[in-house]
């Protein structure tokens, strides 16, 4: 059988291979999704739900952006993709 080589011609796990970066877990995506869901129900059932949903949606989005900015500064990843 032939050995599989990556795009650069080296086998996976060799020195010099880029590490896969995964973001740390956060509650921001579920909060954002809950806000959108409540906002949508508010369109059907009344303005108070629209307001609550919009606040949750804005809070979830802000939390996500702050977490992403904090992670960006912490890791020092400044666009070094090849």
Nearest CA to 49 among 60, 36, 32, 59? 36
Q: Where are the beta strands (DSSP E) in 1-82?
A: none
Place of tokens 């949606």: 57
Question: Are the CB atoms for 35 and 59 separated by under 8 Å?
Answer: yes
User: Does 63 reside within a domain?
Assistant: yes
**First vs last C-alpha separation in the chain:** 30
Structure confidence by residue, pLDDT tens digits, 38-75: 999 999 999 999 999 999 999 999 999 999 888 888 87
Question: Are the CB atoms for 57 and 65 separated by under 8 Å?
Answer: no
- Whether pLDDT at 2 is above 60: no
Count of structural domains, the chain? 1
The answer to whether the predicted template modeling score (pTM) of the entire model surpasses 0.75 is no
User: Does 5 reside within a domain?
Assistant: no
Structure confidence by residue, pLDDT tens digits, 12-36: 556 666 777 777 788 999 999 999 9
Structural domain that includes position 66: 28-71
**Residue 25: its pLDDT value, please?**
86
User: Does 3 reside within a domain?
Assistant: no
């Amino acid at each position: 059988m032939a050995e599989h080589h990556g795009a650069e011609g080296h086998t996976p796990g060799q020195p010099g291979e880029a590490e896969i970066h995964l973001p740390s877990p956060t509650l921001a995506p579920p909060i954002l999704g809950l806000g959108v869901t409540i906002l949508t129900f508010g369109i059907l059932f009344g303005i108070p739900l629209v307001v609550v949903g919009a606040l949750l949606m804005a809070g979830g989005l802000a939390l996500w952006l702050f977490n992403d900015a904090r992670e960006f500064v912490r890791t020092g990843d400044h666009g070094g993709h090849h």
